[in-house]
Amino acid sequence: AREDGNLSVKARLTCIASTAIIAALFSISFRYIYDFWLLAFVTSFQLHIALLASFASAICLWALRSRLFVALLAWSLVLTAHGVIMQQDFSTDGIHSSSAKPFRLLSFNVLRENRRSAESIADAIVASQADVVYVMEAAALRSVLPRLSQIYHYRLGCGIAVSDCDLLMLSKRPLIDGKIGSLSYVSQERAGLAHIDLEGVTLTLAQVHLTKPYFDKYHSEELSKLSDILGQIEGPLILGGDFNSASIVPDMREFMAQTRLQKAPWEPATWPIRAGRFGIAIDHIFARKPATLMSVKRLPDNFGSNHYGLIADFMIAAKTVDSD
């Protein structure tokens, strides 16, 4: 009777576990049927959820031999493998022209309320030796703008082009035709565009802070509008900012394919802070040739923000290596 009771408890526990695993796997598998905006944020965690489901399925299979758990384990392993494969898509090849010039960009969502860390963030910006800096929620840095202007003589945002201090672009070189606009009424004045002359090469700089993906279809619509804008630009292009979504999400993958942008083979996790390197990359830095992305690294400290910042190195050429 005791053995029967133990089996009954075990069966109930594995039944509960299997239901939870099926629900988790279905939530990240629905993307292969339809790109439903309500699940877009969950899809960013496909690799994490699939790995946890694999582990849970293996434990359940060990506890109770069942074909169901064999199927769940196989299902979760397939989703894990595809999550890894998608991470490698659109990766930079690192190949550039011999005439290409080095360029460094820092991109950081500093958190609007994070004023007490302004001096530390300014120290990190200066120490990075970045040629251009993208700042999101830049109101936190108002107090250090005079200090930063001593090194970055040119800026866009925080009183230049727009009165608001949300999107901020800092540059050591003149920003040509700089402007800040909106991709939707949800994200007002959160898209910046400018050009710089890099020793005879015109480099286009694009900066965005997109709406969160679970706000209806605005995230996809903003990416579509951004794709149209970038499609009209020729020459080397760098895009960076807070996308609020991982690059494996369907609308991000479609955007990458349409714009021919390239990313790091394995992007550093930038959110949530407590997850450290085991989080997800929702802040990105992309490039389109003849701007070649060479590396992307995460800042070692979050400096009080709810995101980690990124530093990227590029090689910028006037034309692609194939035509060099």
Residue 170 CA to residue 173 CA, distance in Å, equals 9
Given a contact cutoff of 8 angstroms between Cβ atoms, the answer to whether 75 and 22 are in contact is no
* pLDDT 10s digits, 114-152: 999 999 999 999 999 999 999 999 999 999 999 999 999
List phi, psi (to 5°) of 134. Answer: -100, 125
* pLDDT 10s digits, 13-57: 777 888 999 999 999 999 999 888 878 889 999 999 999 999 999
Please state, for a pLDDT cut of 90, what percent of the chain lies above it: 81
Global confidence as pTM = 0.92
Residue keyed to tokens 């434990």? 59
Grade residue 9 by pLDDT with cuts at 50, 70 and 90.
low
For the stretch 10-42, what's the b/e string if a residue is b when 16 or more beta carbons lie within 10 angstroms of its beta carbon?
eeeebeebbeebbebbebbbebeeebebebbbb
Strand partners, 196: 203
pLDDT at 5 over 70: no
3 or 82, greater pLDDT: 82
* pLDDT 10s digits, 71-98: 999 999 999 999 999 999 999 999 998 8
Architecture of domain 101-323: 4-Layer Sandwich (3.60)
* pLDDT 10s digits, 154-183: 999 999 999 889 999 999 999 999 999 999
Domain residue spans of the chain: 2-88, 101-323
What is the reported pLDDT for 41? 84
Q: Quick one: tokens of 15?
A: 């039944």
* pLDDT 10s digits, 197-210: 998 999 999 999 99
